[in-house]
Chains A and B, each alone.
Chain A
Amino acid sequence: MKARRVKGLDCDGGLAENARRIVLVRLDELFSFDPAVRDPRAVEELHDMRIAAKRLRYILELTEPALGDAARLGTKEAKGLQGLLGDIHDCDVMVPRVRDEVERLRAQDAAVVRASADPRAKDLEPEAVRRAPNLGRYRGLEALATYLTARRGVLYARFIGEWDRLQRGRFRERLERGLAEGLESPPPPARVNGADPTTRSAATAQAGAA
């Protein structure tokens, strides 16, 4: 998914005002996936929403020293969404892959069993199936696909719950308001990536993980 272009960025302007402009566009991107993601079958939209959450998280994380507390709060929520949508995506990738593998093994087994028959045979005895080399693997692969499908359902329900919680809590409006307030009274310049520069290890930890 290509990121939306942010208009009006000014390289000679301040970091905070430019960062705020970017955050507003990334927020808009994130929210544009509702209501599409309320359909659990919207695999592509859920994946794109994860990318939108990641982009929002990165800009907030990076510019938190300029944007202040609102950015810190936004980073936490965006990171949570990104992680949950990432786990859903992992299931969406793995389930069809496991099913394809079952089909591939079945086709391979059928070919082996067929090849083991007498070329002049008019029919095939059922015992021939015992010569299939992959029989012991189907069950585990089916169990894996079943587990991943069920897990995906649980994760999706959790995602919808989290998304509803953010909407009820007016996440977007709070973040927008917090950013505007941060511009009016910016965080003190002595802070380094959100932490007191005198505690270097805390500053490093605060800079966040991707």
Chain B
Amino acid sequence: MASAQAIEGFDATTRFREGAARAVEVRTGELFGHRDGVLDMRDIERVHDMRVASRRLRAVLEVFAPCFPKREYSRVLRDVKALADALGARRDPDVATEALESMSAAFAPSDRAGVRHMIGELRGEQADGNDLLAEALEHMDVSGLEVRLLALAATARVPA
């Protein structure tokens, strides 16, 4: 899992609205930096990294909410949440599958067929989740989410 990037100039002397702008800029960069290869189901860490980045971005949006214009903030937050949900729809079965595979090895051989059956069910969910994620990524691009996030960050620097 990728560590969160440090936010330069983020300390006790920083004004809240400047912190808002910097935090959203850095976390937006992280989110879009993890975009490549997330639909590749052979490497489950990619989707994990992007999901973590989406959570961090959502967290900074919510922390600094009062510094943004309400209407655009609500729209951007809604889209970030939808993207995070789609990433979760793919990631949750990834995690459950990995856990069951590890448990299965410790189970008695006569019990493994049942666990394998459950893993098969989860694999179907992974594939469905991946389809959902593909749609969410497309929406992210079409709606210009990255540009809108950076524009929102810039508005925080300007007092209302």
Binding site for B on A (CB under 8 A): 3, 9-16, 18-19, 22, 55, 58-59, 61-63, 65-68, 90, 94, 98, 101, 105, 134, 136-144, 147, 182, 186-193, 195, 197, 200, 203-210
Q: B residues engaging A (CB < 8 A)?
A: 1, 3-8, 10-17, 19-20, 23, 52, 55-56, 59-60, 62-63, 66-67, 95-96, 99-100, 103, 107-108, 110-118, 121, 156, 159
Q: When the two chains form their complex, are residues B114 and A138 in contact, meaning their CB atoms are under 8 A apart? A: yes
Contacting residue for A140 out of B3, B16, B96, B113, CB 8 A: B113
Q: Are B159 and A14 touching (Cβ within 8 A)?
A: no
Residues of chain A contacted by B111 (CB below 8 angstroms):
139-140, 143-144
Q: Knowing A62-B59, A141-B117, A209-B4, say if A11 contacts B159 (CB, 8 Å).
A: yes
Interface pair A58/B56, CB less than 8 Å apart: yes
Min Cβ gap B54→A in Å is 9
Given the complex, which residues of B lie within 8 Å of A12, measured CB to CB? Answer: 15-17, 159
Contact B159 A206 (CB under 8 A): no
Q: Taking A139-B114, A204-B6, A210-B52 as contacts, is the C-beta distance between A62 and B15 under 8 angstroms?
A: no
* A90 touches which of B59, B99, B117, B159 (Cβ 8 Å): B99
B121 neighbours in A (Cβ, 8 Å):
101
Cα separation A188 to B110 with both chains bound (whole Å): 61
Question: Are A141 and B12 in contact (CB-based, < 8 A)?
Answer: no
Asked, given contacts A9-B66, A13-B16, A58-B63, whether A143 binds B3 with beta carbons under 8 Å apart, the answer is no
A187 to B111, CA, bound (A): 56
Give the 6 A-B CB pairs with smallest separation, nearest first.
A140-B114, A186-B12, A140-B111, A141-B114, A58-B59, A207-B4
Please state if B15 and A208 are interface contacts (CB–CB under 8 Å): no
A3 with B62: CB separation less than 8 A: yes
Contacts of A19 in B (CB 8 A): 63
Assess whether B4 is in contact with A14, with CB atoms less than 8 Å apart: no
A61 CA / B107 CA spacing, docked (Å): 39
Q: Which of B7, B60, B95 contacts A193 (CB 8 A)?
A: B7
**Across the interface, which residues of A come within 8 angstroms of B56, CB to CB?**
58, 210
CB distance from B78 to the nearest CB of A (A): 14
When distances are taken between beta carbons in the complex, the residues of chain A under 8 Å from B11 are 15, 65-66, 186-192
Set of chain A residues within 8 Å of B117, measured between Cβ atoms: 101, 105, 134, 137, 140-141
- CB of A13 within 8 A of CB of B118, answer no
**Bound-complex Cα distance A137 to B62 (A):** 45
> A140–B10 contact, CB under 8 A?
no
Q: Could you pull out 29 A-B pairs where Cβ atoms are within 8 angstroms?
A: A11-B15, A11-B20, A11-B67, A12-B15, A12-B16, A12-B159, A14-B16, A15-B11, A15-B16, A16-B12, A58-B63, A59-B59, A62-B59, A62-B60, A63-B10, A65-B10, A66-B12, A66-B19, A90-B99, A136-B113, A137-B114, A140-B115, A140-B117, A144-B100, A144-B115, A189-B11, A207-B5, A208-B3, A209-B4
Q: Which residue of A lies closest to B19 (CB)?
A: A15
Tell me whether A187 and B113 are in contact in the complex, defined as CB-CB below 8 angstroms, given that A11-B20, A209-B4, A210-B56 are known contacts: no
The residue from B3, B15, B59 contacting A205, defined by CB atoms under 8 A apart:
B3
> Would A15 and B52 be within 8 Å (CB), given that A62-B23, A142-B114 are in contact?
no
Which of A13, A134, A147, A190 is within 8 Å of B15, CB to CB?
A13
